Amino acid sequence: MEEEAKPVHRWVSPTQVVPKKSRITVVQNDKGEEVSTRLTSSWRVCIDYRKLNVVTRKDHFPLPFIDQVLERVSSHPFYYFLDGVEDQEKTTFTCPFGTYAYKRMHFGLCNAPATFQRCMLSIFSDMVERIMEVFMDDITIYGSVFDECLVNLEAVLNRCIEKNLVLNWEKCHFMVHQGIVLGHIISKQGIEVDKAKVELIVKLSAPTIVKGVRQFLGHTRFYSRFIKDFSKLARPLCELLIKLKLDFSHLILRVNP
């Protein structure tokens, strides 16, 4: 990131700072259960690139299906988890200290996920689905025995050195039996829900606007594979989204008779 020498008012975007989570740790919830979670240890600069994204030619390179990635990385005894400049002026943003532009692709740009995924697959094409999985900057390395996992890790790290990939040490976990991958707990036992995320869903207040209903359905659909008859349970909420007038008091009565 560098300070912009001359103002480029056409592309200046607003900014906001939010808490950033880093390493995984285990904490106790209100019920005394141990759950995996990520600690908030720093701050993340978020740029509102919505106006720039509207005029950007879209890159439709596909991201992997989350369910397929989870199925491939689950049920292994050992894991490693690694976290991994043209048109520069268009990333210009403003803050109280001046205007700045990123020298590398920043998240929030509409083509960032597709570009990053294409890059990672080109680097690890001979390893993906064999010893590792990659979903943008999240790398999961696995093995059926300890020594095999070490060999796989060495191969991936050597490739990172060869391609000048820099990893975030705080977010790397070596030789563990379970971890959080794409919002799920994966281990030798298979795939489980992340209890910390479930608690957040349980504590959500009842929606009072259409946007709130959509957000609640989005949260619950993420774990729909674990909820029996989810479509049937969610149908009353889905029906509300297609009605012209919503009676949210009626919604509460239907969901909680």
Q: Which residues, other chains included, contact 174 with Cβ-Cβ below 8 Å and sequence gap of 6+?
A: 80, 153
pLDDT for 243 equals: 65
Asked whether 255 and 237 are in contact (CB, 8 A), the reply is yes
155 and 138 fall within a common domain: yes
pLDDT for 253 equals: 44
Closest among 139, 115, 123 to 63, alpha carbons compared: 115
pLDDT for 85 equals: 41
- Half-sphere exposure (CA, 13 Å, Cβ side) for 161? 6
pLDDT for 61 equals: 92
- Give the domain extent around 223: 204-255
- Tokens read off for 74: 């689950």
Least confidently predicted of 120-124, 147-151, 165-169 = 165-169
Asked whether 48 and 108 are in contact (CB, 8 A), the reply is yes
The mean pLDDT value for 181-202 works out to 90
Q: Which residue has the higher pLDDT, 109 or 90?
A: 109
132 and 156 fall within a common domain: yes
Structural domains of the chain, count: 2
236 and 159 fall within a common domain: no
pLDDT for 238 equals: 87
Asked whether 112 and 137 are in contact (CB, 8 A), the reply is no
pLDDT for 121 equals: 95
The CB density around residue 18, as the number of other CB atoms within 10 Å, is 9
- Tokens read off for 106: 């920043």
Query: What is the overall mean pLDDT for the chain?
Result: 82
How far lies 218's CA from each of 92, 109, 222, 251, in Å?
A: 32, 22, 6, 17
43 and 93 fall within a common domain: yes
83 vs 173: CA distance, rounded Å: 9
pLDDT digits (tens, 9 = 90+) for 132-141: 999 988 999 9
Residue 25 has pLDDT above 70, yes or no: no
User: CB-based burial of residue 195 (10 Å sphere; 0-12 exposed, 13-18 middle, 19+ buried)?
Assistant: middle
Q: How confident is the model at residue 4 (pLDDT cuts 50, 70, 90)?
A: low
Residue 2 has pLDDT above 50, yes or no: yes
Question: What one-character-per-residue DSSP string does 154-215 give?
Answer: HHHHHHHHHTT----GGG-EEEESEEEETTEEEETTEEEE-HHHHHHHHTPPPP-SHHHHHH
40 and 131 fall within a common domain: yes
147 and 230 fall within a common domain: no
141 and 19 fall within a common domain: yes
Q: How confident is the model at residue 205 (pLDDT cuts 50, 70, 90)?
A: confident
165 and 210 fall within a common domain: no
Residue 88 has pLDDT above 90, yes or no: no
The CB density around residue 80, as the number of other CB atoms within 10 Å, is 22
Residue 163 has pLDDT above 90, yes or no: yes
127 and 234 fall within a common domain: no
108 and 16 fall within a common domain: yes
pLDDT digits (tens, 9 = 90+) for 114-129: 999 999 999 999 999 9
208 and 228 fall within a common domain: yes
224 vs 116: CA distance, rounded Å: 28
Q: Which residue has the higher pLDDT, 247 or 209?
A: 209
Radius of gyration of the chain (CA): 21
CATH number of domain containing 11: 3.30.70.270
180 and 82 fall within a common domain: yes
